[in-house]
Chains A and B, each alone.
Chain A
Amino acid sequence: MDSNPNSRKKFFRGEGEIGDVISQAKNLLAESEGLSLDLQKLSETTVEFATLVEEAKYKIGIRERLGQNVDAFKKKIGDLTATWKETRKAELTKKEAEILERADALERERADFEGRMEGVEEEQRQKLSSELESLRVVQEQVQSELGELSATKATIEDILSESEDEVRDKTLSVEEVEFLKVNYFNLVHSRIKQGLKSPITGEHHYGNWEMKEGDGRLSATIKTGVKRRVAIRFDLRFIPSEDVDGFIYKKIGLDSLEEITGYLADKKDKDAYHALILVSPTGWTNGVSQRAAALFDNQTSVYLVDLMGRTITFNNGDKKTAEMQEWFSPVSLEEEVNEVKARLQKEAAEERTSQFRADKVVSQYGVPRKIVVATFKAMEKEGSGSIIDRSEGAKDLIFLVGGE
């Protein structure tokens, strides 16, 4: 007979302790929770890594493609510049010689007339005098033609004096244009969140913007009242010039005026403020810029943005247009602050300026006051000096270089 009664049992043999099942269960659950968190983190990291790899592959692809294109384009620009130098310059020189010859001939003719006039009767003298007058008009025309020609020559000389690298810097690949566009639209997008005061009615509108974006256009609208009339509307239109072999370098010319006149002619809600912002990656010709700078409309402001030159052109004499320009400036607040900061630091180092007054900096550098104030604060924060405000007796906000 078996001495151990447990040996006959299949399950309840008593061969040891189970242990505290409750504590074990708690530990097991805590461990599984930790494991699931680890797995979650691992999965997130894997996704991040995959995105990085994809981005890197994409960037390498673009760089390779750009490298090939830039080399081909560099050669093309070089050829074009050489052709330009040879043919166009020769043509102009030839034309200039012809005009000069013509001017000489006219001068000789005039001298001849004057000589002949001395020995003739009164009647003939009057006849000759009218001929001489017409000769003088022709001569003036030739002189003005000569003036225009020399101006054109000077412009061409400027272009020719640019090195191939400079010309290449002014050209953008389609990818670079797309990048500039996305960057600028994002910048404006980030600004169109806050509320604003209508420059027409003075009414303050809170930031309930309705936005539509696509196909190189962005429109942002604030509507008001029961009838949902437009109170504020911004229309951004991206206009790249035609590309040549995947590169864009031409400035936008007078063709864009149609876009502006069409926009101005559109029917608008009463008291609504509209802003048309035409955006070019490569800039605007002088003709368009001059017209935009002189444009005035009761309800509308027009801005021309040059993304490569990082400038904005508008009618500075129109109060509402000047007030609203900061919404569309291609330079972000941080960049403007950094630029002013660099200028002030340079001035402080070179001219040993010990203090800057806000109003003087505004007029000296032509930047908005808020940028100057933001720069002072940034410089104070990084320990370059301290600010003295009006409450401490200053005439205006003063930044004391290295002061306490």
Chain B
Amino acid sequence: MGLVSGIKKALSDSKNKSVDKANDIMGRVVPGYNYHKREVRLSTDASVRDKLSRETAKSRRLLKEIGELAYKEGLREEIEHIKDATSTLEMLGMELDTAEYGNSPFFKEEGVGFNDVRSMIEFDASLFDGMEVLTEACDLLYKGVLDGKTSDFILQVRKIKKNTDNLRNRFMDRRDFLLRLS
């Protein structure tokens, strides 16, 4: 879905064309997105993480709002689960903000293989898609609370937490990929 399907379609083309197409698609989310040119690789990565971090903050804010409502109604159990999800989101945000792998050869070497660029684009696309789903899910949860539909509230909060965990894992995989290159 979303960016992932577009990127997969673009990357199925011949090498140079496919990267150009993928850059165009990703450029709509992060202006100037380009891992092909060495001089902008590091700034592209920083912009990607910055964008993801902002998305995390949106979800966190929504969960905080829901948590405050639960607190006002004295729902201890619900608050505990919201705290769990929020702290996972906070951790993801911190990891995004403080990632240090500028020494990876991916950012230093002139010629980086097509497959490496392709993997990075795929990682970024899946993270953007996942983060967008997460924000939308938090928004739906908030709407559900406002409508009084809270019978399965805890289950949905756990799902959001699980989804955040998946995104963290995905981001870890991205980091491992970059470090493995060295």
Question: Are A25 and B144 in contact, with the CB atoms below 8 A?
Answer: no
CB of B163 within 8 Å of the partner chain: yes
A15 surroundings in chain B (CB, below 8 A): 147-151
Instruction: Kindly provide the distance from the CB of B31 to the nearest chain A CB, expressed in whole angstroms.
Output: 18
CB of A29 within 8 Å of the partner chain: yes
CB of A115 within 8 Å of the partner chain: no
Our pick among B1, B75, B144 for the contact of A21 (Cβ within 8 Å) is: B144
Question: Are A9 and B73 in contact, with the CB atoms below 8 A?
Answer: yes
CB of A14 within 8 Å of the partner chain: yes
Contact size class for A?
20 to 34
11 contacts between A and B (CB under 8 A): A11-B146, A11-B148, A12-B70, A15-B150, A18-B149, A18-B156, A20-B159, A21-B140, A21-B156, A24-B140, A25-B140
CB of B152 within 8 Å of the partner chain: yes
Instruction: Kindly provide the distance from the CB of A48 to the nearest chain B CB, expressed in whole angstroms.
Output: 22
Q: Is the interface of A mostly helix, strand, loop or mixed?
A: loop
Instruction: Kindly provide the distance from the CB of A16 to the nearest chain B CB, expressed in whole angstroms.
Output: 4
Question: Are A14 and B144 in contact, with the CB atoms below 8 A?
Answer: no
Our pick among A12, A28, A30 for the contact of B150 (Cβ within 8 Å) is: A12
Our pick among A10, A21, A33 for the contact of B160 (Cβ within 8 Å) is: A21
Tell me the complex Cα distance, A15–B146, Å.
11
Question: Are A18 and B2 in contact, with the CB atoms below 8 A?
Answer: no
A20 surroundings in chain B (CB, below 8 A): 156, 159
Looking across the interface, which residue of chain A has its beta carbon closest to that of B148? A13
CB of B78 within 8 Å of the partner chain: yes
Which of B69, B146, B151: most chain A Cβ within 10 A?
Answer: B151
Looking across the interface, which residue of chain A has its beta carbon closest to that of B70? A12
Chain B count of residues within 8 A CB distance of the other chain = 31
Question: Are A29 and B132 in contact, with the CB atoms below 8 A?
Answer: yes
Instruction: Kindly provide the distance from the CB of A10 to the nearest chain B CB, expressed in whole angstroms.
Output: 7
User: What per-residue 1/0 map shows which CB atoms of A28-42 lie under 8 Å from chain B?
Assistant: 111001000000000
CB of B153 within 8 Å of the partner chain: yes
CB of B39 within 8 Å of the partner chain: no
Question: Are B152 and A11 in contact, with the CB atoms below 8 A?
Answer: no
CB of B136 within 8 Å of the partner chain: yes
CB of A228 within 8 Å of the partner chain: no
CB of A22 within 8 Å of the partner chain: yes
Question: Are A12 and B163 in contact, with the CB atoms below 8 A?
Answer: no
Question: Are A18 and B163 in contact, with the CB atoms below 8 A?
Answer: no
Tell me the complex Cα distance, A100–B156, Å.
118
A26 surroundings in chain B (CB, below 8 A): 1, 133
Closest 6 CB pairs of A and B: A18-B144, A25-B136, A13-B148, A21-B137, A25-B137, A16-B149
A24 surroundings in chain B (CB, below 8 A): 136-137, 140
Contacts A11-B69, A18-B144, A22-B159 given: A29-B149 contact, CB under 8 Å?
no
B153 surroundings in chain A (CB, below 8 A): 12, 18
Tell me the complex Cα distance, A22–B152, Å.
13
Our pick among A13, A14, A21, A29 for the contact of B159 (Cβ within 8 Å) is: A21
Tell me the complex Cα distance, A10–B132, Å.
29
Looking across the interface, which residue of chain A has its beta carbon closest to that of B145? A11
Which of B132, B138, B140, B146: most chain A Cβ within 10 A?
Answer: B140
Which of A11, A13, A22, A30: most chain B Cβ within 10 A?
Answer: A11
Contacts A17-B152, A18-B141 given: A25-B73 contact, CB under 8 Å?
no
B163 surroundings in chain A (CB, below 8 A): 22
B140 surroundings in chain A (CB, below 8 A): 18, 21, 24-25, 28
Question: Are B73 and A10 in contact, with the CB atoms below 8 A?
Answer: yes
B148 surroundings in chain A (CB, below 8 A): 11-16
